[in-house]
A and B are shown apart, each in its own frame.
Chain A
Amino acid sequence: MGKNPVCVLAQFKTTKALYHACERVRDEGYVKFDAHSPFPIHGLDRAMGLKPSKVPWIVLILGLLGAAGGMGMQLWMNGVDYPMIFSAKPYFSWQAYVPITFELGVLFGSAGAVFGMLGLNQLPRLNHPVFNSKAFSTHAADDGFFLSIETKDANYDEVRTSKLLEGLGALQVEHLKE
């Protein structure tokens, strides 16, 4: 465990309290914070001020690369590198290559979705400071609604941030170390 706290964790009683807390924290200018809830809460991404995900771009680019690679590979192999005649078709029979092109596009696209999502979420990781909280470990997957603010955030100030969270109706505020 490090010496300095890496994040401050606040527990809220209801989804509503968490939702409003997120709005306030967002409006106060915090960026490096996260909300933790046992189930999805409609509109929470807006309350947190999250930008649209970048995953679609990863999927698009990888999907197109996969499709281009699939078509290119077959054109090169059957047309250039080892020209072969299959069922009296020309060397460059793009029609025959469509299924593989499609499959590789989908494969790369979906791999981009999965690994892009994991990468952007910085997963997998073995542990996270929030798990050092007893309250978090017992309630986060059950009936607790949490908000964590990283101390790396430019707006973070030990006293002010704790006050802010307490003022928003947090049941308890903890400072967690690595």
Chain B
Amino acid sequence: MHEAPIILIFATMLVALCLALLSKKRKRLDMEQWSVGGRRFGVLFVFLLLAGEIYTTFTFLGGSGWAYGTGGPTVYILAYGAVAYLFSYFLLPPIWRYAKRHQLISQPDFFVRQFNSPALGVLVALVGVVAIIPYLQSQMTGLGLIVQMASYGALPQWVAIAIAMFLLAIYVTVSGIYGTAWTAVLKDILILAVVLVVGIALPIRAGGLHQLMVHINQEKPGFLTLGQHGMGIPWFLSTVALTGLGFYMWPHAFGAVYTAKNERIFRRNATFLPLYQLILLFVFFAGFAAIWIVPGLKNTNLALLAAVQKTFPAWLVGVIGSAGVLTAIVPGSLMMMCAGTLVAENLYKPCFKNASSQQVQRVARVVVWLVAIVTFLFSIHSNATIVALLLMGYNFVSQFFPTVLLTLFAPSNVTKAGAFSGIVIGVVLVVYFTLTKQSILWGANTGFWALLVNMLVVLLVSVATRQKSLSPAQVNTGM
């Protein structure tokens, strides 16, 4: 009976791989096909691709783990989605229009074209790849835990992560974005069912939601509100602002924007995506219930899985594990593919100007494997919570936001030098905060401070450089 979960999980992986192979057969893949799906995706697919970003291991295991270990501050996850989608209504259509007009493929292309500066593209690509690694690591940590749990400890975590990484790299190499979109459909159906089951059954097992909350509040006063561990209201405000604004600055999310058929798709989705966010509530309920069902876990990432294992029969554990596997494969594959495209298009190509498109594609595929290996090495040595890893990535990518915002809505206020200095200073601050392990400074998220300094630097340096040479900046930032 104990083999059931692991069999189900590997079957799921196999199905995902088959979907990828099938979708490949229909299309010959060049770079544009491979990474932006020929810009032909409609409302549903774009919705799923963008939602695929959101319903990742981060929410499934990370969200429940945070509810379990951190409590009240988890509420930021509800809020930032709403803020991000609200902004998407205004932010994404102009990005999409610009990308379509200039046939852009990757996020750095946007910067290269706006400022006529391949060097800026190299910088953006580098920061993007750096940010992707902790994100991917969070997905792999989740995948590893699921496989480990499903095998009832027979497979140690590093083997589990190695299997997960290997599978993901193969998946990405053969499929590209079509595979991702189809798996996203499968994933969303399964995850919805699983989250509802888990989010309802576990609280019932813990005596009902109301009872559970009263109980938690008695045992741990203050746990269910903001304020503990320095995570008070200023932390909430700064983190929601940081992650809400940074949401679409992820290279893969930025790239997913290019896949849409028209710009109205984004405005329509801005209405429905916030509702989709409510599914997360059930994940939190499960996390809170785990406090009652499996108290005292050292590794909070395990909260949901441990509670599930204690409550449900083995086959159901398998189904839940399979959903978890898909929540890691969809965003994981997008991110790996994205890292490949970033390096091939924006680092390799500018350096080797006469490289053929086949060579560029081969580089992209090699990079996928390199990223897999690097992430694997980071994953086996780390015990960071999944949410902490994700927030680290957000600190990096949100540094693109000031420049993107200004180029879209106030192009005369930003110059190449301004964009460059803002991003560099923001990223340097984030690296400093990361290395000194400071995630909160003066009550607010450190990434938010970096973002503020970044914005200020962009504006000041742009003013200074524009006075010196008015015309080139305006020529370059026009359009």
Verify that A and B bind, or say they do not: no
Report which A residues bind B (CB closer than 8 A).
none
